[in-house]
Amino acid sequence: MNGPNTSQFQNPLEENTRSSKIADPCIVVIFGATGDLTARKLVPALYNLAKEGQLPAHFACVGFARRSKSHEEFRKEMEEAVSQFSRTKPIDPDLWQNFSEQLFYHQSEFDHDEGYDSLKTMLKDLDQKFGTKGNRVFYLSTQPSFFPLVIEKLSKHQLIYNVHEVQEKWSRVIIEKPFGHDLASAKSLQNDISKHLDESQIYRIDHYLGKETVQNLLVFRFSNPIFESSWNSHHVDSVQITVSEEIGIGTRGRFWEEAGMLRDIVQNHMMQLLSLTAMEAPINLKADSIRDEKFKVMECIRPFDLENLDHSIVRGQYGPGYINGMSVSGYREEQNVAPDSSVETYVALKLHIDNWRWAGVPFYLRAGKRLPKRTTEIAVIFKDAPGYLFKNVSKKIEPNVLVIRIQPDEGISLKANCKIPGLSTVFQPVKMDFQYGSYFGSTPPEAYERLICDCMSGDSTLFARIDEVLASWRLFDPVIHCWEKTKASDFPNYAAGSWGPKEADELLSQDGYGWRLI
């Protein structure tokens, strides 16, 4: 399934199913190729796509960065990276041999015109050698501040094509998050890049959307009427979405001081998870049909009451504590972090989606660093059984909970109540559990594999559209500005290794709820 601006030729040998889509021949150019993301995620993803036979036969990859190195040096570095970070190990030497011959390196500063000219020449040569037909994916794995510059240069040097003028080949740009750091900057960035790119050429990556269980959410919801029929305010009591990490900020102090949890995780990943959980069924599986429904969810979210912000959103910052039995320092003691920093490493919030499906159902979201474990999950908590038939039984009956585990241990579980065998009626909650690894015998593809493959195929379903992004910024912009004006006087307010500040518990307990223990 290829997007616009691709060749009109429909290969009769291609099977037109999503699961076996074949990407068009293309060259992937990675800007910022000496960075962490390229080594940890991008090249290992390309390698695994090659291993799975999902990479087009006519393919090449060029790393573009400022440091000087040869093709061989770059290939060697990438071999080490793939050996370390690939989900499939050990590296297949034959496969690597073939794959590495398609890897190249181009050195230039991002603002040097000569660098783009020489890149253009190089890409033309590679087109000839590998038959990549002029199709391009430009992956901007750089600081966001370079996005407008790089795109402008690419446009100036006709490395990206005008979709209305060029039909026989295509060019797409993948942009890493964050897309702006607030509403104004997001709009500004969009203005800058839309001078050179059509929306159909822009692929805003949110790697959560590439995760197998996130994609399974749509399949699960819309192919199982037994669940979809109760996926609404008549049956759902509340929804909790958690993105929890046990690691701290590591060496990313400088980045984190500018970003914070709200920008890094909540505004993008969590809103994507929320919109997929809450959306209506799309009319078809086309990218825009799905993204239309996601956008509608964003538009229905009730804005925060800035007069009573504490009743809806809580921020936290980790102090010293214990992770895996080891003592760890607090956020303010991390490298490149101000000793009086007010940046949040934890956010908990309550949202309401004011539409027919979700009216009255609170959505509780939390994201944090240095929490007890690494987990991302969506928990749909159903209402209590009506009538309370068993009210004279000793124990309180637990509500049904459907949990979609995004990571780790991808899978789905359903908590139900059973009777303990015996003469009296005593309840015990049990879990019906489905784990991807157990059922399918192997770990699912990494998110970046799916996303890069989709971009090469022209499928933008799993990429964020600008209206979704701006809607999310509109929601959080006032909070960001409010927090920037008011320093948090109680930071740090949770110990590393605990489940967050007590204010986050109070956010739920004020409504009679509590956070799920995960």
Partner 1 sequence: MIAAEEKNIEIANIEQTFSKFKNLQDKNQIHACLFNLVVYAVGERRIQFLKDIVRMIVERFPCRIFFIETPCSSQSSESYLTVYATQERISKGEMFILCDKIEIKSSESYLERIPFIILPHLIPDLPIFLLWGQDPTTDVNVFPYLKPYATRLVFDAQSNHDLQQFCHQILTQKKSYSMEVMDINWALTSGWRRIFAQIFDTEPKIESLTHAKEIRIYYCRKDVQWMHQYEIQSIYLQGWLASKFNWTFKNKETSEEKIRLHYEHSQGNVMIDLIPQHSEELNPGAILNIEVHAANGLYYHMFRPKHASNVRVEISSSEKCELPCSVSLPNLRGFLREIFYQKINENYFKMIETIESIDWS
Q: Which residues bind partner 1 (CB under 8 A)?
A: 246, 321-326, 372-373, 394-395, 401, 403, 413, 415, 420, 422, 424, 426-431, 497-499, 505, 516-518
Integer Cα distance of 485 and 487 in angstroms? 7
Nearest approach in angstroms of CB 398 to partner 1 is: 8
Nearest approach in angstroms of CB 509 to partner 1 is: 11
Integer Cα distance of 405 and 417 in angstroms? 20
Q: Compare residues 63 and 497 and give the one whose CB is closer to partner 1.
A: 497
Residue 417's H or E segment, with its range, is: strand 411-419
Instruction: List the catalytic residues.
Output: 269
DSSP letters of 93-111? HHHHHHHHTTEEEEE--TT
Number of Cβ within 10 Å of residue 37's Cβ equals: 17
Q: Compare residues 76 and 373 and give the one whose CB is closer to partner 1.
A: 373
Tokens of 318: 């980790």
Q: Compare residues 338 and 418 and give the one whose CB is closer to partner 1.
A: 418
DSSP letters of 233-249? TTTEEEEEEEEE-SS--
Q: Compare residues 229 and 438 and give the one whose CB is closer to partner 1.
A: 438
User: Quick one: three-class SS letters along 51-67?
Assistant: HCCCCCCCEEEEEEECC
Q: Compare residues 218 and 323 and give the one whose CB is closer to partner 1.
A: 323
Nearest approach in angstroms of CB 494 to partner 1 is: 12
Nearest approach in angstroms of CB 84 to partner 1 is: 18
Tokens of 456: 């090469």
Integer Cα distance of 129 and 60 in angstroms? 10
Q: Compare residues 3 and 497 and give the one whose CB is closer to partner 1.
A: 497
Integer Cα distance of 171 and 196 in angstroms? 11
Cα–Cα distances in Å, from 169 out to 128, 207, 287?
14, 26, 20
CA 330 to chain centre: 26
Contacts of residues 222-230 at CB distance under 8 Å and 24 or more positions apart, as own/partner, are 222/281, 227/402, 228/281, 230/382
Q: Compare residues 414 and 488 and give the one whose CB is closer to partner 1.
A: 414
Integer Cα distance of 59 and 67 in angstroms? 24
Nearest approach in angstroms of CB 488 to partner 1 is: 23
DSSP letters of 439-490? HHSSPPPPHHHHHHHHHHHT--TTEE-HHHHHHHHHHHHHHHHHHHHS--TT
Burial 208-221 (b: 16+ CB within 10 A, else e): bbbbbbbbbbbebb
Integer Cα distance of 191 and 185 in angstroms? 10
Q: What type of residue is 326? A: M
Nearest approach in angstroms of CB 335 to partner 1 is: 22
Cα–Cα distances in Å, from 369 out to 271, 317, 331, 463?
18, 8, 9, 25
Q: Compare residues 13 and 420 and give the one whose CB is closer to partner 1.
A: 420
| DSSP code at position 365 | E
